[in-house]
Amino acid sequence: MTPEWKISPGLSVVLGDITKMRVEAMVNAANSSLLGGGGVDGAIHRAAGPELLKECRSVGGCPTGEARITRGYDLPAAWVIHTVGPVWRGGDCGEEEMLACCYRSCFSLVEERGIKSVAFPAISTGAYGFPARRAAGIAVQEMILALEKGKSLKSILAVCYSPESCQIYLDALEACRKQR
């Protein structure tokens, strides 16, 4: 069984591989070409099959902070929402706001399509070097806001690839609760 913690109404932290999650949409931490890459991007493209790359080619890229939606092909998810996180450059280049924009852009596509469930990886915290704790704070805040404001959205999975990452998300939620 996949370890899962329900940390807030509609929000769960899950340890595992995002490509295996049974959700309507999964978010890909893509690069601006949308033509695939390493990390979670590579895993999503491998699991979705070559049709995903074909559709991504037709999309024509995506700027940092924005998101684009495609079909999920061989993935369990019907949709993939590709978003391009900021590369961490020390924190003075608007990285935090840009990361929040990624989450908001994903949630506007979710609402536009009437999607009920979505899984997110920890955007920007791998190759793009965003500090994991700061990123989790932003992620959790935007997720809670989206669940409060959303009409179609009912469930979010914050998918963590390591137990350390799960703990970071649980701590971030605790901090977010204290702030409110």
Of 17, 55, 96, 111, the residue at the interface with ligand ADP (CB under 6 A) is 17
Q: Does 131 bind ligand ADP (CB under 6 A)?
A: no
Written as one letter, the residue type at 48 is: A
Of 41, 66, 95, 142, the residue at the interface with ligand ADP (CB under 6 A) is 41
Among 7-15, 34-42, 102-110, 147-155, the segment contacting ligand ADP (CB under 6 A): 34-42
φ/ψ (deg, to 5) at 68:
-135, 150
Contact 68, 104 (CB under 8 A): no
Classify the phi-psi angles of 54: left when phi > 0, otherwise alpha if psi is within -120 to 50, otherwise beta. Answer: alpha
Query: What is the spatial distance between Cα 37 and Cα 141, in angstroms, rounded to a whole number?
Result: 28
Residue partners of 160: CB distance under 8 A and separation at least 6: 13, 14, 15, 16, 122, 166, 168, 169
CB of 64 to ligand ADP, least distance (A): 10
Active site residues: 41
Q: Does 86 bind ligand ADP (CB under 6 A)?
A: no
Q: How many residues bind ligand ADP (CB under 6 A)?
A: 20
Q: Does 61 bind ligand ADP (CB under 6 A)?
A: no
Contact 101, 141 (CB under 8 A): no
For ligand ADP, the closer CB: 13 or 180: 13
Residues lying near ligand ADP in the complex (CB under 6 A)? 17-19, 29, 39-41, 43, 85, 121-128, 159, 161, 165
